[in-house]
Structure 1
Amino acid sequence: MTPGPRSHEPQPATVTAEDEVVRICQDLLRIDTSNYGDGSGPGERAAAEYVMGLLHEVGLEPELMESEPGRSSLVVRIPGEDPARPALVLHGHLDVVPAQAEDWQVDPFGGEEIDGLLWGRGAVDMKDMDAMILAVVRQMVREGRRPARDVIVAFFADEEAGGKFGAGHVVATRPDLFEGATEAVSEVGGFSVEIAGRRAYLLQTAEKGIGWLRLVADGRAGHGSQVAVDNAVTHLAAAVARIGQHEWPYVMTPTVDALMRGVSDLTGLRYDPQDPALVDALIDALGPAARFVGATVRNTSNPTQLSAGYKANVIPGRAEAAVDVRFLAGHTESGMDTLRELAGPHVRIEPIHEDIALEAPFSGHLVDTMVDSVLAEDPGATVLPYALSAGTDNKSLARLGIKGYGFAPLRLPAELDFPGMFHGVDERVPVDALKFGVRVLDRMLRTA
């Protein structure tokens, strides 16, 4: 049996974030919070109660909310040195995507430390950042320090299924908890990659919009031996093939354009936003991160599910497919027009889940503070903006006018394919990277 998290033992004031971030991360990894997207998972309650205990232990009083039984989120506000300044939201999610144990080298919920790395579902997405937030906040409170401004710390349910039962619910029902907040920091950005022999940290300033769509074809049901001129499966298959094979045009959004220019400066490779071949060469220079960045220069549309029929010799009257579409900021409407054209007259498109694209500037006091905090710990590095091909809970907070960034700072070995482990097998994060991250986040909160 996988061991559960350890009990909350009082820690002396001399305990630092670096001392306990590994323990906290291990404890979180050992709590199965798999989100299957259909309500069948264990939920986030056990993890939320563990987090509540850590915060209560240092004297904080978070508020716990449930959208449905077991779907738990919590929020706590920490007063800052200057309460007149707009507040900052520092947030993570407690759920993880499911893991098939037989595909892993280790127990995905074992939280094992092997050769200086912590292994487990969520080590990359995003219990590593959850642990860093908790460790830094606990250290700050124990030492009697206040952040530069009010910090609203939140841990949400359901991010991996779009946030309906997590951030979306909290924002809709308790917007008062985020009163005065204008900016937010969360997952995915801040990790390092090697570009032309130099370490660069990718700070997420944008993310694509989400369009999980259902394609539906209706036709004439009948015997499988008959001539079928109105076959729902045929209509659907043709539409799925057209959509899945469509080559979307390259579009350089402000964030991606800034990243390409930065990579060009580091590598000496030429950049022309109108030349896809030159753009591809710059993307390739990003190494493992290329798989993230390569999906942010255009819309993407990937068929993911098919459903039709109930017997081999019966022509079904209906066939369905699911498509995962990610839109660049400002290109949702035109993208949907293209999808409807590709689907054709026999296939209609219905929404499953949709959410907005985000684009924030790579400038301002918060961005400067994040950059300075990284460079203080890694002076020879550089920091570049990038766009995320997926989405985060910053989408929900954006409905309150809160501008979101991805900044989970990790200094990683160049050979570690960190981006490839998001939703992949054998997730693992270096212990040293966690300790680096808490130092950077602590610096950020001192002045942000």
Structure 2
Amino acid sequence: MTTTAEAEVVDLCAELIRIDTSNPIKPERPAAEYVAAKLAEVGLTPTILESEPGRASVVARMPGADPGRPALLIHGHLDVVPADPADWQVHPFSGEIKDGYLWGRGAIDMKDMDAMVLAVVRDRMRTRRPPARDVVLAFVADEEAGGGKGARFLVDNHRDLFDGCTESISEVGGFSIDLNGTRLYPVQTAQRGMTWLKLTATGRAGHGSLVNDANPVTALAETVARIGTYDWPVRVTPCTREFLTALGAALGEPIDPDNLSALAPRLGSVTALVASTLRNTANPTMLEAGYKVNVVPQTANAYIDGRYLPGYREEFLTTIEKLLHPRVRYEIVHDDVALENPWSGPLVDAMVTALTAEDPDGKPIPYCLFGGTDDKSFSRLGITGYGFSPLRLAPDLDFAGMFHAVDERVNIAALQFGVRVLDRFLDLC
């Protein structure tokens, strides 16, 4: 029998998708007001906080059965990355239901989780079923730009709202992977650190027709090419070792992290998920130089999206320094920690039990996230964060491939599955 929460989650997610919160083009305030109204409607007292006009987050506390226990934080972001309607099969902000899927920007990243949490909380408040302990709900701004105007702002300026919180759950974990007849549920226990770099090359300005052995564009191009093509060494962290062991068991043969390509045909879309958790990465993403075709500029800039494994920040920066041209320097424009948490303890037990109760054939396993989440900001408060946004996906849906992608979508049954798991989890956590 479909519960009220299962029936409501699709509409909640569709309505959130229809509120365009493309960062940085559209502010989160309309979505924050929507969430706050849905929480207030069932008796909670949400607070809307702005880091600057329009950049709004919502925080509320849901009383638990045992208020003496440490509180659990459940957080999700309200912003999404931009989407061009011309590229999509359906309008990215239509929240359209088609072929058993809910389509739109945020369907996976991460208005799905926002909607699942809202649906579960609203149903529990209406039926007077408190969670096992106090739950702090945070729907935040700006995650897609590093969280400075969202989670980091809240941590720096409103930490009292998170008093008593020791653990959290959020996005990018608890999703299903069908592999060789086995259904795995990777739960995010670790994530790579984030170091965004600005490279600046200096040289001698002059006429484009003259010989110039100090052209900053050339120095920058050499450096960008070195960084972009550098073959980072494989580093297997404890979390990833467990992940690879589980994948190997599903395939029926061990996975050699130094020769991942050998099993790529059998791993399929999982290959991309694994590859970026085996090494540091540094991808050039932006270039800035010059103002006229016949003028050599005095400076040129590039930006690098750097990610490093837990424990390998120093190796990352040392390598970058070795790859720089002598006339190129770097500065860190955004820096956030790597995280690695244990795959054990009562909270992990609650996640595993809730998942397997809804899918007895499923196997929860730990994994390291290739990107980063607002867990990085909340870790500053001593909160241990896990990625647990449970979805039993259609077997042919490439979960990782949906992030920031054209035609982002989620199967409706996955949302309803997630509601059931989260509802059960709140009794166990």
For normalisation by structure 2, the TM-score amounts to: 0.98
1:388-414 alpha-carbon deviations (Å, 9 max, x no partner): 111100000000010111011110121
1:19 equivalent to 2:7? Answer yes
1:343 alignment partner in structure 2: 324
Q: Distance in 1 between matches of 2:240 and 2:375?
A: 19
Give 1:100's aligned residue: 84
Superposed CA deviations along residues 149-185 of structure 1, whole A, max 9, x for unmatched, are 1111110000000000000000100111111111110
Counterpart among 370, 379, 383 of residue 402 in structure 1: 383
Q: 1:414 aligns with which of 389, 395, 398?
A: 395
Q: Which amino acid letter does the alignment assign opposite residue 325 of structure 1? A: G
Within the alignment, does 1:170 sit opposite 2:154 as a pair? yes
Q: Is 1:319 equivalent to 2:303 in the alignment?
A: no
> Residue by residue, what CA displacement relative to the aligned partner does 1:74-98 show, whole Å, maximum 9, x if unpaired?
1111111112211110110000000
CA offset digits 1:314-354 (Å, max 9, x no partner): 11100000111101011111210110110132110011211
CA RMSD, 1 decimal: 1.3
Larger mean CA deviation between 437-446 and 191-200 belongs to 191-200
The 1-side partners of 2:243 and 2:229 are apart by 27
In 2, Cα distance between equivalents of 1:72 and 1:281: 47
SS of alignment partner, residue 205 of structure 1 = strand
CA contact (8 A) 1:248 1:298 kept: yes
Report the CA distance between 1:198 and its aligned residue: 1.0
Cα deviations by residue, 1:371-403 (Å, 9 ceiling, x for unpaired): 111110111111111111111000000000101
Q: CA deviation at 1:280?
A: 4.6
Q: Check whether the contact 2:220–2:325 (CA below 8 A) recurs between aligned residues.
A: no
8 Å contact from structure 2 (residues 72, 133) kept in 1: yes
Correspondences of 1:237-316 after superposition (within 5 Å): 237-271=221-255, 276-277=258-259, 279-281=260-262, 285-316=266-297
Is structure 2 residue 429 aligned with structure 1 residue 445?
no
Q: Counterparts in 2 of 1:21-420, with a 5 A limit?
A: 21-36=9-24, 41-271=25-255, 276-277=258-259, 279-281=260-262, 285-420=266-401
Distance in 2 separating the partners of 1:227 and 1:287? 50
Aligned-partner Cα distance in 1 for 2:263–2:78: 35
TM normalised by structure 1 equals 0.94
Offset from partner CA, 1:167-212 (integer Å, 9 cap, x none): 0000100111111111110001111011221111110111111111
Q: Give the aligned length.
A: 428
Give SS of 1:155's match.
strand
Give 5+ residue unaligned stretches, structure 2: none
Contact kept, 8 Å, 1:194 with 1:287, in 2: the verdict is: no
Structure 2 distance, partners of 1:265, 1:86, is 37
Aligned partners of 1:92 and 1:186 also within 8 Å: yes
**Which one of 385, 405, 410 corresponds to residue 429 of structure 1?**
410
SS at match of 1:67: strand
Distance 1:51 1:270 in 2: 46
The alpha carbon displacement at 1:293 in A equals 2.0
Residue pair 1:293, 1:388 contacting (<8 A) in 2 also? no
Partner-residue secondary structure (3-state), 2:343: coil
Once the two structures are TM-superposed, the CA of residue 292 in structure 1 deviates from its matched residue by 2.1
Question: Secondary structure in 2 aligned to 1:399?
Answer: helix
Q: Which runs of 5 or more residues in structure 1 are unaligned?
A: 1-13
Identity of aligned residues (%): 57
Q: C-alpha distance in 2, partners of 1:169/1:77? A: 18
Superimposed CA distance per residue, residues 400-439 of structure 1 (whole angstroms, 9 cap, x where no aligned partner): 0101110111101211122101000001111110000000
Measured in 2, the distance between the counterparts of 1:121 and 1:396 equals 24
Letter aligned with residue 105 of structure 2? R
